[in-house]
């Protein structure tokens, strides 16, 4: 018998059953929380499984062969996800992002995308539907995803150097396959393609400029590269502040190689600070989740693979939406419950983290990134 310990809490993140109002108010599309933040984005995790084992997200030692991922029966079905999404859209959500785990591991994902693509906002507009992927299956799937109604895609790519990339994904996956996936996405018209690189000081920070150069030279302005500060999400990655490279340093390194000019945010609540290459070579962004928290503008809700609704990436407690979706409740009742949940929201963990213990509330275990999605 191996020594591996299965963390039982993983499958049982605390979740409260939402209160269903007796006389639910009809959604107005203008919901806002206690800090005046609207509900604009919904991130939907479609699987807790991933074929990579990036040490900062799903370290191999914990997510090993004995690890118990969620059983199929716990996962929200496509119909349940679409129903939930429709109710969120009625409350003002305009953007849906499918994530995971690795979302392209969920079978027949195109079917879900085509169901979601049929939804319309209260004023009749199409939704902005996107997906975050490690790119490993993108070459094969890009066209089918586009045909189903996906608009654009974000690919996680932490290094251009094959040795470093294989070491970081920890399953020996070659970088060339991900680069071909990005090309396939561009050919399929999934534009713009965004590439997200999580920067870990001492691990891949020397890849910042080479990756930027490659994107400029090989892909051009249709691909936007963004650098993410390594975050203290979850409880399994052994996060340390000295491994965070502040975005200001990333920008300085880029600027020394390719002069940059600042750009305005393109949408309220946008997570990235945007820059453009002064020579017209396109755009880059930095996401400073650690050094410059952006809770004040956070307009995102997150739906876990098993239908728990989280209002913050750093939450330890969710709201069991699946209990309502599988209970005998009408759309109006569930929408009413969502309205109460968002209306009571006052999370701003990242802004408060300096003043708090590692775990803000009750000593409960913080949710893991692969479970809730990035």
The residues binding ligand SAM (CB under 6 A) are: 50, 56-57, 99-100, 102, 132-134, 156, 196, 198, 228, 230-231, 233, 237, 369-370, 373-374
The beta-strand segments (E) located in the chain are 14-16, 41-45, 95-99, 128-133, 152-156, 193-199, 223-229, 260-262, 273-277, 283-287, 300-303, 308-310, 317-320
How far is the C-alpha of 40 from the C-alpha of 51, rounded, in Å?
A: 30
Closest distance to ligand SAM from the beta carbon of 102 (Å): 4
Residue pair 244/230 in contact (Cβ under 8 Å)? The answer is: yes
Angle (CA) 288 294 298, round 5°: 130
Q: Which two tokens stand for residue 96?
A: 């849906």
CB-nearer residue toward ligand SAM: 86 or 200: 200
Closest distance to ligand SAM from the beta carbon of 228 (Å): 5
Closest distance to ligand SAM from the beta carbon of 122 (Å): 29
CB-nearer residue toward ligand SAM: 82 or 236: 236
Q: Nearest residue by C-beta to ligand SAM?
A: 374
CB within 8 Å of 137: residues ≥ 6 apart = 102, 104, 105, 181
Closest distance to ligand SAM from the beta carbon of 234 (Å): 7
Q: What is the DSSP letter of 3?
A: -
363 dihedral zone (left: phi>0; alpha: psi -120 to 50; beta) = left
Closest distance to ligand SAM from the beta carbon of 239 (Å): 6
CA-wise closest residue to 330 among 30, 53, 86: 86
CB-nearer residue toward ligand SAM: 196 or 305: 196
Tokens 């996060």 -> residue: 239
CB-nearer residue toward ligand SAM: 32 or 55: 55
CB-nearer residue toward ligand SAM: 115 or 133: 133
Chain centre distance of CA 364: 22
CB-nearer residue toward ligand SAM: 51 or 114: 51
How far is the C-alpha of 118 from the C-alpha of 300, rounded, in Å?
A: 21
CB-nearer residue toward ligand SAM: 21 or 351: 351
12, 87, 285 from 315: Cα distances, Å: 14, 22, 26
Q: What is the dihedral of CA 366, 84, 47, 328, to 10 degrees?
A: 90
Closest distance to ligand SAM from the beta carbon of 341 (Å): 23
How far is the C-alpha of 222 from the C-alpha of 76, rounded, in Å?
A: 34
Closest distance to ligand SAM from the beta carbon of 26 (Å): 34
CB-nearer residue toward ligand SAM: 37 or 370: 370
Residue pair 42/301 in contact (Cβ under 8 Å)? The answer is: yes
Residue pair 53/63 in contact (Cβ under 8 Å)? The answer is: yes
CB-nearer residue toward ligand SAM: 102 or 207: 102
Closest distance to ligand SAM from the beta carbon of 329 (Å): 30
Closest distance to ligand SAM from the beta carbon of 44 (Å): 11
């Amino acid at each position: 018998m191996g020594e591996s310990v299965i963390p039982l809490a993983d499958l049982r993140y605390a979740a409260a059953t939402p209160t269903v109002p007796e006389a639910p108010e009809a959604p107005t599309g203008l919901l806002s929380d206690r800090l005046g933040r609207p509900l604009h984005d919904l991130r939907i995790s479609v699987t807790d499984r991933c074929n990579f084992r990036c040490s900062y997200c799903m370290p191999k030692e914990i997510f090993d062969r004995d690890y118990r991922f969620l059983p199929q029966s716990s996962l929200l079905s496509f119909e349940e996800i679409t129903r939930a999404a429709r109710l969120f859209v009625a409350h003002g959500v305009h953007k849906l992002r499918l994530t995971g785990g690795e979302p392209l591991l969920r079978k027949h994902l195109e079917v879900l995308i085509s169901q979601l693509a049929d939804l319309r906002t209260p004023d009749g507009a199409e939704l902005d539907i996107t997906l975050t992927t490690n790119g490993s299956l993108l070459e094969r799937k890009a066209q089918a995803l586009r045909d189903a109604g996906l608009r654009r895609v974000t690919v996680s790519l932490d290094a251009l150097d094959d040795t470093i990339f294989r070491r970081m994904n920890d399953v020996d996956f070659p970088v060339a396959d991900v680069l071909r996936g990005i090309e396939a996405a561009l050919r399929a018209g999934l534009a713009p393609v965004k590439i997200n690189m999580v920067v870990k000081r001492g691990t891949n920070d020397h890849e910042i400029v080479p990756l930027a150069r490659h994107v400029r030279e090989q892909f051009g302005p249709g691909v936007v590269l963004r650098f993410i500060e390594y975050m203290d999400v979850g409880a399994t990655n052994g996060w340390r502040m000295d491994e965070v490279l502040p975005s200001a340093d990333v920008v300085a390194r880029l600027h020394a190689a390719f002069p940059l000019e600042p750009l305005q945010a393109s949408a309220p609540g946008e997570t990235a600070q945007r820059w453009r290459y002064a020579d017209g070579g396109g755009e880059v962004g930095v996401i400073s989740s650690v050094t410059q928290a952006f809770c004040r503008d956070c307009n995102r809700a997150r739906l876990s693979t098993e239908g728990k609704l989280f209002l913050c990436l750093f939450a330890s407690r969710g709201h069991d939406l699946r209990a309502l979706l599988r209970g005998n409740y009408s759309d109006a009742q569930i929408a009413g419950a969502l309205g109460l949940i968002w209306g009571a929201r006052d999370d701003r963990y990242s802004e408060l983290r300096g003043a708090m213990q590692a775990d803000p509330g009750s000593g409960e275990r913080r949710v893991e990134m692969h479970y809730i999605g990035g």
